[in-house]
Structure 1
């Protein structure tokens, strides 16, 4: 029905009823009584209107759907319509609040920094990543100009020139950042920051890896090619010299083969194409095999003992054996003659531990953090003497990471080192 009719028809009916009541009183008691009755009824209706107007005024001060009165007469429909409008509005506000909460939560989790600025570059909002990248704090810096907070000449020039189609590379607070401003609406701008520090570090590691690998391969190849040139240039080379050259070429070829095998092992460990296949690992048997290899490498120059006081685990036997053997062979290579080496397998308070303790030369603390980097050597000359490839600890680190473990190194110059390969208790058989 037409809303106008819903209002006017009941109103006219009430007026007709007042007229009829006054007419009846006129007929029974006279015109004065009829007029008084009509005035009383109209006054009551006016008081009712004023009462509901006051109720409406109170509700408008705090418009909640649950606080609307029921009303009387035309007010019933008025309040009913207000209730429906307010209920829909509250539902929309709840939906908007939910979406806003989701948006803010998503912004909080983003690794990219996001800051919203007005047309004069005053900070309106930023997420934690932007605070971490640019040193912003929303509670402290809201309303302040971003150019006063990020005092970098390149950043200020970037804003003044307004060339926002390309990101700006910025070195700030010890980080390499890529920042870009994106205008939106008429009076707001979004500042997006990306931390490229890790990417730069990975790229530097890649360059170093290629350079080091090329150097490590070039050295034995140079020796082999040199001896071949000598042999070709002098066919009458005596047998003893020829045998010595062949032995050196074999040694360098073996070194190059080990290097290539270790590089392939690292590549396989890092590849998603080779997922970890867990099998039952007889640790005691593996420890004895690793100890035998270490004794063979030592040639009786070290005292090597084995201590097993832990359970078997689930994992890759080949990978774990490679990690344990690398740690044991390193201990042999870097321990002086007559030194002692202890290989241990035990269950700790919250993990399983394979440890190699030696009485070797020890390691200066400044080198400990970098030992697991590819081709990183504390003493390059000694490493070449011991025929190390420089990839052993990198392989250990990747093997343990695939098994959910980690490598811990304890060392003191002149007092030996302890390498601890820790595996989680989740590695225990079902």
Structure 2
């Protein structure tokens, strides 16, 4: 039924009832009594309407569906409609609040920085990532002009010129940021920031790795190809020369093989496809094997001893043997003949330790922080003599990281070095 009809029909019926009652009083008691009764009924209706208007006014001051008053007559329908409208409004508000909370949570978790500005560049909101990237604090900087907060000439020019099709690259607070403005609505703009520092670093590492690996492989390949060309060009080489060439080619081929094996090992250690498989490691047997391998590499040129004064651990026996073996072989390669090398497994105050102590050539302090970089060498000519691949300490670092440990290096040029691989006490068998 039409809402207007629903309103006027009951209203006219109530008016007709009031007139009928007044008419009956007129007929029974006389005109004065009839008019007086009609006036009283009208006054009562007026007072009730004013009372409902007062209640409506009070409710509008604090419009909650649970506090809506009951009504009589036409007010019943009015309050019922208001109740439905308020319930719908509260439901929509609850949904909006929930979505706003989800939006803020998502913005807080975004790895990208997001800041919202008005049309005159006053900051309205930003997420924690934008605070870190741009050095902002939302509580303090909200309502302030962004150009006063980020005083970078290139950034200010970017904002003023309004050429937002392409992002802007900035160096802020020691980080490389990619910044872009996105117009939003008519009077707002979104500032998006992306930290490209780690991406650039990884890309630089990748380029260096490829360049270094190519260089390391090219040298032995050049030697092998050169000797093969000589052999093909002169089939009448004497047996002694041919044997010397074959020995050199074999040596270079073995070097390439070691290099490829180390690169594959390092790639596997860095891959998520090869999770760490923990098992109980017999450390005494492992250290003894590492010592035997070091003696074989030394070929009697060094005095090599080992001592085990610590418990077994949980970890990958193969990976730990690779790490400990690389530390021991480095000591052999960089300790002159007649030197002493000691391998020790012990329990420290707060950790477990494998130490390799030598009295070799030592390392200058300026090189120590870079020793675990791929292909980093203190002395390239000596590294070629010792047949190292330049990846041994990088492998050690990644093995220890997978086991929750770390590598510490102490060295004095001309006196020797101490390489300490530490594992946490959580590596102990349960």
Structure 1 residues 62 and 366: alpha-carbon distance in aligned structure 2, compared to 1, 3 A threshold: farther
Shift of 1:111: 0.8
Match in the other structure for 2:371: 371
Structure 1 residues 96 and 365: alpha-carbon distance in aligned structure 2, compared to 1, 3 A threshold: farther
Shift of 1:372: 2.1
Q: More deviation in 58-67 or 23-32? A: 23-32
Match in the other structure for 1:45: 45
Matched-pair contact (CA < 8 Å) for 2:405–2:423: yes
Q: In structure 2, how many angstroms separate the alpha carbons of the residues matched to 1:412 and 1:30?
A: 124
Shift of 1:201: 0.8
Q: More deviation in 94-103 or 111-120? A: 111-120
Q: Which runs of 5+ in 2 are unaligned?
A: none
Match in the other structure for 1:81: 81
Match in the other structure for 2:310: 309
Match in the other structure for 1:343: 344
Q: More deviation in 241-250 or 325-334? A: 241-250
Figure out how many residues of one structure are paired with residues of the other and give that number: 424
Q: Deviations over 1:144-203 (max 9, x none)?
A: 232332222322333333332222222222111111111122222212111111111111
Match in the other structure for 1:135: 135
Q: More deviation in 87-96 or 167-176? A: 167-176
Match in the other structure for 1:256: 256
Q: In structure 2, how many angstroms separate the alpha carbons of the residues matched to 1:45 and 1:343?
A: 102
Matched-pair contact (CA < 8 Å) for 2:131–2:137: yes
SS of residue in 1 equivalent to 2:388: coil
Shift of 1:231: 7.0
Q: How does 1:196-275 map to 2 (within 5 A)?
A: 196-224=196-224, 246-271=246-271, 274-275=273-274
Match in the other structure for 1:59: 59
Shift of 1:104: 1.1
Matched-pair contact (CA < 8 Å) for 1:331–1:356: no
Matched-pair contact (CA < 8 Å) for 1:363–1:417: no
Matched-pair contact (CA < 8 Å) for 1:122–1:143: yes
Q: In structure 2, how many angstroms separate the alpha carbons of the residues matched to 1:215 and 1:182?
A: 45
Shift of 1:322: 1.8
Match in the other structure for 1:358: 357
* Aligned CA-pair RMSD: 3.0
Q: More deviation in 336-345 or 229-238? A: 229-238
Q: TM-score, normalised on structure 2? A: 0.86
Q: More deviation in 100-109 or 224-233? A: 224-233
Q: In structure 2, how many angstroms separate the alpha carbons of the residues matched to 1:335 and 1:63?
A: 86
Q: In structure 2, how many angstroms separate the alpha carbons of the residues matched to 1:25 and 1:363?
A: 121
Q: TM-score, normalised on structure 1? A: 0.86
Q: How does 1:78-157 map to 2 (within 5 A)?
A: 78-157=78-157
Shift of 1:222: 4.6
